[in-house]
């Protein structure tokens, strides 16, 4: 399941008077969405945890959030939407990808559990989901200190993730003061920066060989291997972020064409993400498609690659 967290999520319990229900007039209330997982197929709100805070503590946190928002979102901002399409596997219905979108602090991330662990009876998707959950938590902690540093987010999330397995990871944040995006990437997940319908940057793949990406978890790699990037961005730029299920099955020209049409049709980020995801899914089943995966295999594989597919479309506005 894609671990899609948002501080701007909807609360199905908003009509309940919690002050009366819990009879706590001296307390403020808020909902913690850090364990809220959502994807297009499954919606699990049972993990939401109701927390209470003394008035003064709540106001202090609220002030810091408002100050951050006014400071960081006054200029450019990210508006993002996502889609997750797990491959059909009854043994792992949630798939091995995970992601989060934290619009309040302008940070997004994706992870892809390494499938090779299945030979040892380990579901690497559990590791990927825990890593993204911890990345979401660390993003908040980083924001309270100032700017979010993607590599520090990875370092702290990695330190606090203890599930078996491993995964790739890519964290991206917008620094609106510098009009730039800052990213840290480990492995073969990644992103493309698109301006006026043309790809102007594509994050490099980190791998030791075909099908052997750098990865975090129960392996020899750690966040020190992360490739760090800072790129200038402009209003109306578009970020396409994804796991290898997107990148292995979509040619750059295909992505550019779909993005141009999305701009013309004024699609919302989630609508664009769905279009990209659906084409990637179609290509993954095409045994004769000329895909990046087939070309990288140097004749060992033809057509697309059946895999979990995560796509995040992020508009710079």
Contact status, residue 49 vs residue 32, Cβ threshold 8 Å: yes
pLDDT tens track for 193-236:
999 999 999 999 999 999 899 999 999 899 999 999 999 999 99
- The burial class, CB within 10 Å (0-12 / 13-18 / 19+), for 194 is buried
pLDDT recorded at residue 62: 42
pLDDT recorded at residue 87: 95
The number of residues in the chain equals: 317
pTM score over 0.95 = no
CA distance 193 to 167: 23
- Give the DSSP H/E element, type plus range, for residue 198: strand 198-202
Q: 3-class SS at 183?
A: strand
**CA-closest candidate to residue 316, choices 269, 246, 265:** 269
pLDDT recorded at residue 74: 54
CA distance 139 to 301: 39
- What does the mean pLDDT of the chain come to? 83
pLDDT recorded at residue 221: 95
pLDDT tens track for 127-176:
999 999 999 999 999 999 989 999 999 999 999 999 999 999 999 999 99
């Amino acid at each position: 399941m894609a671990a899609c967290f948002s501080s701007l999520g909807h609360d199905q319990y908003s009509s309940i008077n919690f002050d009366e229900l819990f009879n706590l007039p001296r307390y403020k209330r808020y909902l913690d969405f850090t364990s809220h997982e959502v994807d297009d197929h499954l919606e699990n709100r049972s993990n939401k945890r109701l927390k209470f805070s003394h008035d003064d503590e709540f106001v202090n946190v609220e002030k810091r959030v408002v100050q951050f928002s006014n400071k960081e979102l006054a200029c450019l901002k990210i508006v993002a939407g996502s889609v997750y399409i797990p491959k059909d596997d009854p043994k792992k219905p949630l798939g091995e990808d995970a992601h989060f979108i934290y619009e309040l602090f302008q940070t997004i991330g994706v992870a892809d559990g390494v499938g090779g662990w299945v030979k040892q009876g380990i579901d690497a998707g559990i590791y990927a989901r825990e890593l993204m959950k911890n990345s979401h938590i660390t993003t908040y902690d980083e924001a309270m200190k100032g700017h979010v540093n993607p590599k520090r987010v990875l370092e702290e999330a990695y330190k606090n993730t203890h599930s078996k397995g491993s995964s790739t990871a890519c964290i991206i944040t917008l620094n609106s003061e510098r009009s730039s995006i800052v990213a840290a990437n480990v492995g073969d997940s990644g992103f493309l920066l698109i301006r006026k319908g043309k790809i102007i940057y594509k994050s490099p793949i980190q791998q030791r060989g075909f099908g052997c990406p750098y990865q975090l978890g129960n392996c020899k790699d750690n966040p020190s291997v992360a490739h760090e990037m800072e790129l200038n961005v402009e209003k109306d730029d578009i970020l396409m972020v994804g796991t290898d299920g997107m990148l292995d099955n979509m040619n750059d020209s295909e992505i550019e064409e779909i993005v141009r049409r999305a701009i013309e049709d004024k699609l919302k980020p989630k609508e664009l993400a769905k279009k990209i995801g659906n084409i990637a899914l179609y290509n993954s089943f095409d045994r004769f498609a000329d895909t990046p995966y087939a070309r990288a295999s140097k004749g060992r594989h033809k057509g697309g690659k059946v895999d979990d597919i995560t796509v995040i479309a992020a508009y710079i506005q």
